[in-house]
A = this chain, B = another copy of it.
Amino acid sequence: MNIQELMSNMGKQARAAARLLSGVTPGQKNEALASVAAKLRGSAERLTTENEKDLAAGKKAGLTSAMLDRLTLNEKRIEEMALAVEEIAALPDPVGEVTGIWTRPSGFKVGRMRAPIGVIGIIYESRPNVTIDAAALCLKSGNACILRGGSEAIHSNQVLAEIFREAVSSAGLPAQAAQAVPTTDREAVRALLTLDDHVDLIIPRGGKGLIRMIMENSTIPVIKHLDGICHTYVDSGADEKMALDICINAKLNRPGTCNAMETMLVHRDMAGSFLKKVLAKFREEGVEIRGCPLTKKAEPWVREAADEDWATEYLDRILNVRVVADMDEAMDHIARFGSAHTDVIVTMNYANAQRFTKEVDSAAVMVNASSRLHDGFVFGLGAEIGISTDKLHARGPMGLVELTTEKWVVLGEGHLRD
């Protein structure tokens, strides 16, 4: 069987599974998830055997120790996966929720009802636990999924998907609710992207190159989880201590995450004492500063930022700093260089807080808070499949609700159109 046929068959099986899933109850899905958690806990040996194949190949291929660590499955991580599945099972079921219903003058009722999207293709590069998280979120929201993880985790991902399917099937739900692509061939991704008859949505998580390729080749709607070039703008008259704490937290709480600050914009009124203090603190913490000419003038040790720096997601202990004349200049900068992920204003000025939240066009806009708060758990939404940087359907944390669609339901008693 060639790759095109292989993927097309997976698509057909996923579509058939999705149809069956549309008829099941929340209780059946939760039972299936409970049996996934139990089976994971009982499969430590099976999992580590397959995982060791990936680790051996990874060592041979020269993966760094950090990468090998991320790839490793052990008792603790297996338990964490099982717990995550149980947490997803415990969340409210979004399917079937009626989000509004009204009666029209002629007497028929019309409203919206949440339904699964159908079949979702997920393309990711990260740890093997994403395989279980993604499959569990899709099952809970009534969707079938086709999973394509990184080639370095192929054996781990295959066995995780097998365990998931065995458990789901033993609970009486369709085994093909979750399928992992069984090959590392890149043609499989291209084939997946054109299965528009069978697949309703592609969710890519990964680097810019992968996501660009997907945008250019997919005939299926895509919801991207792309880069976070997040800004903090410290307004004139901001509380110095609060601004300092927020900027330090936004940069240093976890520099490698998409909601970490990459650029700090400072009103020129704050370019004296505040700028001196915050830069001294960053220097002390070993953060490399790339600054505008005014920043460099204030602190000669600062390296001058190149044009491309403003558009770079460092995910590292590097920070751009720019002194701006006013909030308009800050918002212009964000519109030009930002990635519409998370942007923050630190201010005591009511009108500026209002304008910033209204006019800055990002998935999350924040007043007097660290950009690191942009997270489904922190917001209180429960597990998420990622943070969407797209504007349509799902913006920001993409959880169970965002994995559903709303259909219109009309309840008539013989109603006709005039």
Contacts and interface: CB of A to CB of B under 8 A. Distances in A.
Interface of A: 19, 22-23, 96, 102, 104, 108, 110, 113, 115, 117-118, 196, 200-201, 215-216, 219, 221-223, 239, 242, 245-246, 249, 253-254, 335, 355, 357-359, 361-370, 372-375, 378-380, 390-393, 395-397, 405-417
Given A359-B23, A361-B118, A391-B405, A108 B373 contact: yes
A215 B242 contact: no
A110 B379 contact: yes
A89 B215 CA distance: 36
B408 A22 contact: no
Contact of A118 (B239, B370, B379, B391): B391
B417 A372 contact: yes
Given A335-B19, A417-B249, A417-B253, A391 B108 contact: no
Given A367-B411, A407-B364, A253 B96 contact: no
A179 B353 CA distance: 32
Contacts of A366: 409-412
Contact of A380 (B102, B118, B222, B397): B102
Nearest to A20: B359
- Interface SS of A by simple majority: mixed
A367 B242 CA distance: 57
Contacts of A414: 239, 242, 245-246, 368-369
B370 A416 contact: yes
Nearest to A214: B219
A415 B370 contact: yes
B246 A361 contact: no
Given A110-B380, A380-B104, A361 B392 contact: no
A19 to B, nearest CB: 6
Given A200-B392, A365-B408, A396-B408, 5 more contacts: A221-B222, A366-B410, A369-B410, A372-B417, A373-B417
A117 B406 CA distance: 19
B215 A115 contact: no
27 contacts: A19-B359, A22-B358, A23-B355, A96-B358, A104-B378, A110-B379, A115-B358, A200-B391, A215-B219, A216-B219, A245-B416, A246-B416, A361-B407, A366-B411, A366-B412, A368-B411, A368-B412, A370-B415, A373-B410, A373-B412, A373-B417, A378-B417, A379-B408, A391-B405, A392-B392, A395-B408, A397-B408
Contacts of A407: 361-365, 395-396
Contacts of A215: 196, 219
Contacts of A355: 23
A108 B374 CA distance: 12
